[in-house]
Every structure is written in structure tokens, then in C-alpha cells.
Structure 1
Amino acid sequence: MSNSSTLKVNLSDDHLKRVSRANPIQAIEELIWNSLDADATKIFLRVESNEIGNQTIVIEDNGSGISEKQASKYLGFIGNSWKATKSETESGRPIHGQKGEGRFKAFSLGRVVDWESVYQQDGSFYKLTISLNSDRANEFSVSTATRSKVNKTKSIIRVSELNKKVAVHNFDELKNKLTQTFSSYLYAYPNIEITVDGYLIDPNEAIEDVSEYTLELEDVAGTHQIKIIEWLEISSKQLLLCKNNGTVLKEHKFQPNRVRNLGYSFSAYIISDYITELNSDSSLDLIDMDADSKKLLDAAYQQINEHFKTKRSNERLLRLQGWKESGIYPFEENNDPGVIETAKREIFDIIASKVEDNLPKFANSNHKTKKFTFRLLSQSLENNPQSMQAIMTEVLNLNTEEQNEFAKLLEKTSLSHIIRSAKIVADRLDFLESLNTLVFDHKKSLLERDQLHKILESESWIFDEHFALAGSEKRLEEVLNIHLKILGKRCEDDSKVLINNERQGRVDLMLSKSVEVRPGHKDFLVVELKRPNKKIDNDVIGQIMGYAQAVNNDERFHKSNCKWKFIAVSNQFDDIAEMRANNIGLPKGCVHQENSIEIYVMKWSEVITNAKARLKFYQEQLNYEADTESSMSYLHEIHNEFVPEEIREQA
């Protein structure tokens, strides 16, 4: 270049390569920041291309330019930028750069960088050009300044001979990316215009909402804020680290699972004195490894989550109010719905919201159709919460991420389990109430095997939560065969098992523990149900002891590998049974205990009371009280064919 001088950059090639490293978007952002730091109010960016690909990247601005003196004094040094001693531009705007590295980021775009500058000095305007080449990154040429024909300051940077990746890079999202980076700045300084390939970035068009919060950090000096900008059309979830003056330094990747994905598009700007300090120390890249930085990031994540949690809650309230006002909401007004109802409503509200958002036909449906749809959804949720997954997937056509989020809601959070578990507890409380009615109010009409026994076949939890129904109405030798099968051993001896050497025994209900106590060892429960109006007396005790004796004396069982508990149940004891059920030194109701056999006699009132005691904690948490109506409703729904005729007639 004629009338030019070559200046050296006093850094090694390795250092220059490091400071010039950036992705294409970051490099363009740095060049735009240079324009803003030069007090530019109008910045034009264009990517010139042809059928082969991108050819040149041009950034033009109306900033103050760079003088010949400034070029000679500062461009040869990194860390000696004129910005290092200033925090504001001449017009009072915050300065982004301080290290003098930004211009070298242009090398990540292309091999040749030409910089044309028009500056003002002593009332006159001068023009000079600066040329840089990545082949000789440690030197640059500066032309001799000449009088400018244009009496306006400006800068034009042209990056040519683009790198291969940049030449084929798709810059379609460039406008959106730059909007996210500079919107906070443009929002604060509305007189500044940035135009990208003919499109003016207008933050007001892209921004849905702006919220600012102060972050309180213990033992971390300085002021710390977070600004959350929510976007209308831009799809983004972005965290940006900013100096205390609000200028963006870099994007920071969200740590996994720290921010809940609620579907909002936003950019969060952490504005902090501490980030300014880290940047000055060239340690911003180590922000995840620093204790004080962790406090800052933790506070930011917490505030972001809280912000969108509140936003989602407010949106739901507005939507919910609309449903109620239009009369399509399927739940009645209730100021104290309890845990079960609350869980149902929470899941329903989420599903119904998805229906509105994802089914355009629903929004255009008439009132009757909407009301019917919501009623069907609520009934599906009531009867089978897991069916909601199919609805969300097959009906609403949610994308994979949304499907996974909803599956996580149903499977890994408590809501669906609350509904399922709460329904089990509520049904059990209703059953206990109805059983109390059956055995005490209708004992004359209740038959042993046809009714009470059949009902209890599917309600065996009442005796012990750890036992599951294994067999019913089996001759005692069949019970022994079941025992042998579970233990994994068989014997070819099929001889009858006799009780008192006289007759075959029968049991009404047999329950086996669902889990081995330890490998090869099982616990068994044998329940002898008596008609509620049949008192337990010495004969009944003898009968159940006969069962126990038959098991205990049979050679086909390894007594060391099994434990048996026998129970006879009815409404009343005679005096002898009452005395034997209260033996000193034995658990209440235990009439015999030796080695692996226990024999109990129990009243139905005790069985029901013990079962209620096991459910008491859950009942209190669910705020559920079984009444006659709910309990008899459950009885008719589940066990109607076994209910005495006189009760069915009352229904």
C-alpha cells in the first residue's frame, strides 16, 4: 500500500490465535460492539454472497472512527486499548471492550480485514485505511491520513476471503441472534439503530416483556441484577453475562436441569460487578469453577425459575377464570378441596391448557362441545390418570420434548401418584365404613361364604398390608400344596391331611406374604372367617388350633423355612375366648404362640380399628372422611353382587 506504514503487534502468534478465536456470530457481535464503543448510532451489517456462497461481511457505522494517532498508539498492543481507562463513551454510553481484542475476532471470519475510517480532528475530517491479514496477524498496515471528501465520521470494516465454514454458514438466524444480544442495549438507548441485511432490529417488536430483579448474594461485594427479556417470535432460552454497565460479554450455557422448561422464550442478562471483575482479570471463562460465581449463578437460576413460575401461575389463574366464567370448567367451586381434588385439578388444568393451545378446532368449538370435552377429560383423569399420556401424545401431537415433560409430570412427580394413592386410601376408608355396617347392622342376613368371604377376597389388605390373596375356600391339603409350590419343593405323598385324625379341614381365606422374609423363607396367614353373628368360643379356638396342628405336624413342610399365623374372626367372643385373647405376655388376641406358629382370635371391631389406624396418617393428609353415602356407594359399585338383598333394596 502506497503512503502507508507497517506496525507490529507485540504478541506471539499463539496468543494472537487465542484472542482471535470465536464462532461467526460472536465475531460479528464483537465488531458491532466496536461500533457502539465508537459512539455509533447507526450500524449497517450485510453479508454479501453469490451462487457460490458468502463472499464478504461488511459492517458500516457512523461512529467517531479511529485517528492516525490512535491507530499508531493502540492497535499494536492488546490490553492497551484506549477503552481500558474509560467506562463510558464520549456520549455517556457504557463501553463494552477494554482489552483491545475485539478487532482480532474478525480473523475468525476471513483472511483479509480492511478497515476504512473517517475521523474528525481540529474541525476537519480525515480518512485512513487499516489492513490486516491473518497470514501476518502480528502486523498491520496503516495508510497516511488524507482529507476526507465526506464531512461525516464513519467506519467501514470489510472482511473478505472468508474462511470455508463462514463461506457456507447459514446466516438466516443472524438477525434473531443479534436481537437477543443487543436488545437490552437497544432497549436502553432507543436512538441507536442496527440494521442486518436491510432489516432493522427493533427490540420493541421482538420483546414481549422485560423484568428486572436485584440478586442478593451473601459475602459477594458489589451490586448484582438480572434482567429477563421475554421474546414474542424468537425461539430462545439464553443466559448472558454482562458487565455492571449492562453490556453483554458472552453467552453462558445453562447448567443441566437448573432452569425448568416451561415453554417460554427468553434471554436472561446477569448484570454484576463481580462479572466485571472476572472479565478484567481474564477469568470469565472459569466462572463455573469459582465459589462466588456459583453463588451468583445459583441466585440467577433461582430468580429465573421463580419469575416463570409466577408467570405461569398468573396465566393459569386468568385462563381458569375464563373457563369458570364461561361455564365449561368441570369442577365445582370449593374453597377447601383437599389434597386429592387439588391434585386432580392441577393435572386437569395443565391438560386443558394444552388442549386449548394445540387443538385449533377446540378454540372455535361451541360452548356445548367445549364443556363436553372438558367433562370427558376430567372423567378420564378420575378413572385412569395414566390415560392422559396417550391423550397428550396421540390427540394433541406434542413434540418429543413436550411428551417427555408430561411423562415426567405423571411418572416422576407426585401428582398422578397422589391421585392414584389417594383414591386407594379413600376407597379403603369407604370399605371399612361399609364393612362396619355389614358386620354390625346386617349380621343376620350376611352369609359366610357367599357374601362376606367373596367381598374380602379382593379386600385382603384389611388383615395385613404385607399379605396378598393366594387362595380361597381350599381344602387344607390344597393349602399345603400351595405352600409346597411357593417353596419350590414337591412331594409325591398326596395323602389327606386330617384334623384330629377325623375330617378334612377347610379355610375360607389364605393370604401369602408378597415378599420373602429372606431367601427360601415365607410367612403365611390363614384366616378363618366366621359369620358375624357367630361368637368365637372354645370350639372355634379348637378348630383353628386344629388347622395349626395339621400344618405343624405334617412332614411335608420344613418348619424352619416358614412361619404361620392363623386368625379366627367374628363379631363377638364368649367369656372363655375373651379370657384366652388377653393372655399376659402375649400380644392381644394371641391364644397360642410357639416356634413358627401363632394363633389369633379377633373381633371385627378390632380388625376394622387396626386397619383404620394404619390409614390414619394418610386420612389426615388427604382430609378425607368416609360417610355412609360414600361407603355404601363404594360397596354397591365394587361388591354389589355379594351385598345382602336388604341393603341392595335400600340403594
Structure 2
Amino acid sequence: MTFDGKRLDPSDIIVGEPIDLRLDLPEEYTQEDPAPVVTFVEWNQRMSDRRMLICNADGIALYEQGREWTDSIVSFTPYLRSSLFNDISVDDLHGLPMSHGGLLDVAAKAVQKHLALRGAQISAAVVRQLKDEGIYPYSGPSASGTQAIERQTFDVVVTVARDALPVKGAARQLSVSLIQTALESSPGDLHTILAKVLALSDEDRRHLKNLLDSTDLTHVIEAATTVTNRLNFIGALRKILADPQLRKDLREVDQLHPMIAKNLWLFGEDWNMAMNEVGLTNVLQAHLEDQLGEDVVLENQLEPVTQPDGRSGRVDVLLFRSRRDDSSTERLIIELKRPTVRVGKKELDQIKGYARAIVDDPQYSGVDCKWRFYLITYDYSDKILRDIRQKDKPEGLADDHHDYEVWVKSWGEILDTAEKKLLFFQRQLNYEATDDRVTQHLRESYSRFIPEALAEDGQNGAAASNSSTGSETPSTLHP
């Protein structure tokens, strides 16, 4: 074939030789001679998305049929060739799905099967090359289901990006490491890395996004990261509260409150994205001192508290959130008691009185809303057990009305309930929140909010490690 006086030779952009794919033909096509066949042509450069080309027995393309074929790893064109199409009219070509639907279906399945095979072959070759270079970031068999999914996703991503990776040297190793780090801790950053660091084309990134979305791999990794971070947080808070000195040193205003405010899933998943309702401030403040006392402060009015002798003062913090949809409104009010306070009858009566005062306030009286008040403490007195362990009511529910509830919970109960909800996922992940892991999570994610003694242990440990190795501490990527 020539064009503008020049001979066209596509062999330079074809990978290997075109392959004829065997079709599992429906019975009505088994007597055709020659039998219908799909010729699969693979290109060594990205081609625009193409539909299956319907061809006569000589391979002359007559019509594009079906959906656009896209693949993030293989660039190809499928040609369905058959003598059935030798003298076919234009009208009959448009009617192929009706007249030859069975043939089109088996042809598409054959292409899909071969695509999976070629993708696996190419991916295996890419992984083998990275291993030979010593920069493949995984070793040995995967330790858990989640790690296997992460590893599988890495293999897909690095295969798609194979031509965009630097050819050799530190830049190549860094690019591979960035992909693995993003998958491990922040899958949402992956497309930014592919676009800005590796300059992967828009089309290749679109193909990759479609592939990952269709398999839900990144969603699984994101969910696994969320679960492990939550398990680490639960273990970390247990560690602080179980240690008498750390519990004593924990400050409510600038340590306990910000940690809980970032982790409201402890009170139910729906509260994780709830908003701070500024309009509540006036009503909550109006009844605060009369009902709860002067040592309770709203979370949006927190300031360092100093006693007359110059020491840091201790207060209880009132945290509040709301969530709305088209049909309902819910509000969450949490009083965080100081870990040194043991809640008794006085504190229970105070939160019950405060709840009633808020619900009965003219601004909210008669408004269709469900209020949930929580009094959270390290420990409570046996004298209130009859109030919070009533027959036929959930444990901790102290006051139950159609428009509001009052709960009293210890931190142990809150953390146990949250941990049980994560138990199924924990088993699937085969993940244990060890003391070292939870401590590291505290220092990396909540360094500003933990007692100084706990933070300083980490700094001293790092200093000792640097001293022994003679090197600087590498920067840490925070989850």
C-alpha cells in the first residue's frame, strides 16, 4: 500500500506478529470455511481507542462495531474477519448485532481473554526487571490480604507507567518508591505523582483510573489504611489513659479535645464528616454555667487556662456537631471530662439538666431534631450504675426521650465499642496494633497533642539511633 507516493509499512510499530485468536464459535458458524477469526494486532505505541473492525475474508475493514476497546497496558486493534462479510450491504452492517450477535459476543470474549493474558505477561516482565535491578519494593509472599491487594495494584500501576519511568539511576528508584508509598498510605495522591512526577499522559492516566475503579483496588487500600489508622488511634489513646502519669499530664484543651475532634467516628461513622454548627454557640453558652458549672468551656471558645499560682488550669470541654439531610437534623453534644475526674451523681444530674435546658430553650423547643448528649469520663462511680444500666435499655443510656438522649460512657467502653466494629476488618487485614505501632502513630500524627513525656521518648530514641548510625534522621511521610 502506498500513500502520496510512499510505501506504508506498519511493521515498525507492530509488536511481534499479528495473532489469530481461536473463537469458541456458536454451532451455526462451525461449518464456515474458512472459519471466522479475530486477528489481534498489538502496537508498540499508544493508539486512540478503537472499536472492533469488521472485515471481509481478505482483511479489508468495512465497519467499526461495538464499544471502544480501552486498555491501560496493551495498545491494540482487533479485526473480526469472515467470508460472511464479503458482500454485505451497509444496512446489513448496521444490523450486525441482530443478525450475528452470537459471533460478535464470542469475538469480544476472545479479545478480552487475550488482553488479560498479554497484560499478565507484560506485568510479569516489568516486575522481573525491577527485581533484577533491586528496586522492587516487596519481598517474599504477601503477609495479608490487604498487602496482596496493594502489591497487585502496584504491579498494575508500575506496568502502565513503565515507559514513563526514568530509565535508570536514583530517579528511577525514587519514582518506584513514590508509587509504593502512595499506595500504602495515600492512594489519593497516586494520580498526582503519575501526572507531575512521571508525566504520564492524560490518556494513560484515564485508562489506569478506569481500570482501578473497575476493580476497586484503590478503594480497598484506602479502606485498609483507614482501619489500621483507627486501630492505631484506639491503641494509642488506651496507652495514654492506662498510664497514671500520662493520664495526669494529658491536657483537655490543647491535647485531648483536638484528638477527639479529629476522630468523631468513635461515636458513630455518620459523625465523622459532621460540621461544627456555629449557630449553636449562643444557646449552649447561655445554659453552660448554670447547669454544668464554670469549669466547662465550649470547644470554639478554648483558651489556655491559668490558675492564680501560674500553673495550667484544668477544664472540661464541650464539643458539638450537627448533621442534616432533607428530612432530619441530628446534633451531638459531648462533654469531655478531665481524666482525673470520677463521674458521680452530681455530674450525671448536671448533664441531664443541661440537656433538658437546651432542648426546652425557645430557639429549639418544638423543632424536629434528635439530640444526643454524651458525658465521657475515664471512670464513674458505682452510685450511678442504676441510672446507666436500666432494664431493656442500652448500657450507658441515662435519659431517653423522643427528642433527646443522654449517655454516660467511660473511655474504655467507647474504645471497646469502636474496636468491635473494626474487628471483622482487623481479621481480614491480619493487623495487630502493637505498642510500638500505636506509639509511632501518636508521634507521627498527633505529636502536638500528646503529653510531652511521650513525645520526648520518641525524640530521644531518634537521637540515640542517629548517634549510633552517624546519619541524619530521614523525613517521615505522614499518613
SS in structure 2 opposite 1:332? coil
The residue aligned with 1:458 is 262
Write the mapping of 1:190-209 to structure 2, written as runs, cut at 5 A. 208-209=16-17
1:254 and 1:173 map into 2 onto residues whose CA distance is 30
The residue aligned with 1:154 is none
SS in structure 2 opposite 1:591? strand
Write the mapping of 1:149-548 to structure 2, written as runs, cut at 5 A. 175=8, 208-217=16-25, 220=28, 222=30, 226-231=37-42, 239-241=52-54, 247-248=58-59, 250-257=61-68, 260=71, 262-271=73-82, 276=84, 284-290=92-98, 293-329=100-136, 331-353=137-159, 356-358=162-164, 362-363=166-167, 365-366=168-169, 368-382=170-184, 384-409=186-211, 414-442=216-244, 443-467=247-271, 468=273, 470=275, 479-481=280-282, 499=290, 506=297, 508-516=317-325, 518=327, 521-548=328-355
Task: Provide structure 2 residue ranges, at least 5 long, that are not aligned to the other structure.
Answer: 299-316, 459-479
Query: Contact (CA 8 Å) 1:242, 1:276: kept in 2 or not?
Result: no
SS in structure 1 opposite 2:343? coil
Query: Contact (CA 8 Å) 1:385, 1:420: kept in 2 or not?
Result: yes
The residue aligned with 1:8 is none
Larger Rg: 1
Between 1:369-378 and 1:594-603, the stretch displaced more is: 369-378
Task: Provide structure 1 residue ranges, at least 5 long, that are not aligned to the other structure.
Answer: 1-44, 48-169, 180-202, 484-493
Between 1:280-289 and 1:612-621, the stretch displaced more is: 280-289
The residue aligned with 1:10 is none
1:322 and 1:617 map into 2 onto residues whose CA distance is 37
Query: Contact (CA 8 Å) 1:239, 1:268: kept in 2 or not?
Result: yes
2:128 and 2:219 map into 1 onto residues whose CA distance is 27
SS in structure 2 opposite 1:569? strand
Structure 1 pair 495–648 and aligned structure 2 pair: CA distance change class (3 A): closer
How many angstroms does 1:175 deviate by?
4.0
Structure 1 pair 220–619 and aligned structure 2 pair: CA distance change class (3 A): farther
1:589 and 1:233 map into 2 onto residues whose CA distance is 66
The residue aligned with 2:463 is none
How many angstroms does 1:534 deviate by?
3.3
How many angstroms does 1:355 deviate by?
5.1
How many angstroms does 1:631 deviate by?
1.6
Relative contact order higher in (CA < 8 Å, ≥ 6 apart): 2
Write the mapping of 1:531-610 to structure 2, written as runs, cut at 5 A. 531-610=338-417
> What is the letter of the counterpart of residue 336 of structure 2?
L
Structure 1 pair 233–574 and aligned structure 2 pair: CA distance change class (3 A): closer
Structure 1 pair 280–500 and aligned structure 2 pair: CA distance change class (3 A): closer
Write the mapping of 1:629-640 to structure 2, written as runs, cut at 5 A. 629-640=436-447
Deviation by residue 1:250-288 (Cα, 9 ceiling, x = unmatched): 5441412455464423443345xxx63996899852553
TM-score, normalisation: structure 2: 0.76
How many angstroms does 1:315 deviate by?
1.2
Query: Contact (CA 8 Å) 1:213, 1:225: kept in 2 or not?
Result: no
RMSD of the TM alignment (CA)?
A: 3.9
Query: Contact (CA 8 Å) 1:339, 1:621: kept in 2 or not?
Result: yes
1:530 and 1:431 map into 2 onto residues whose CA distance is 19
Query: Contact (CA 8 Å) 2:38, 2:81: kept in 1 or not?
Result: yes
2:198 and 2:150 map into 1 onto residues whose CA distance is 20
> What is the letter of the counterpart of residue 499 of structure 1?
D
Deviation by residue 1:439-472 (Cα, 9 ceiling, x = unmatched): 2234444344443233212112211222246559
The residue aligned with 2:420 is 613
> What is the letter of the counterpart of residue 375 of structure 1?
S
SS in structure 1 opposite 2:17? strand
Query: Contact (CA 8 Å) 2:55, 2:85: kept in 1 or not?
Result: no
2:348 and 2:117 map into 1 onto residues whose CA distance is 64
Query: Contact (CA 8 Å) 2:18, 2:42: kept in 1 or not?
Result: no
How many angstroms does 1:398 deviate by?
4.3
Q: How many residues get paired?
A: 432
Deviation by residue 1:279-334 (Cα, 9 ceiling, x = unmatched): 6899852553426x2222122112212212211111111221111122122x2314
How many angstroms does 1:634 deviate by?
0.9
Structure 1 pair 593–612 and aligned structure 2 pair: CA distance change class (3 A): same
SS in structure 2 opposite 1:592? strand
1:505 and 1:232 map into 2 onto residues whose CA distance is 70
- Name the structure with the higher helix share: 2
2:226 and 2:286 map into 1 onto residues whose CA distance is 43
SS in structure 1 opposite 2:187? coil
How many angstroms does 1:613 deviate by?
2.9
TM-score, normalisation: structure 1: 0.57
The residue aligned with 1:117 is none
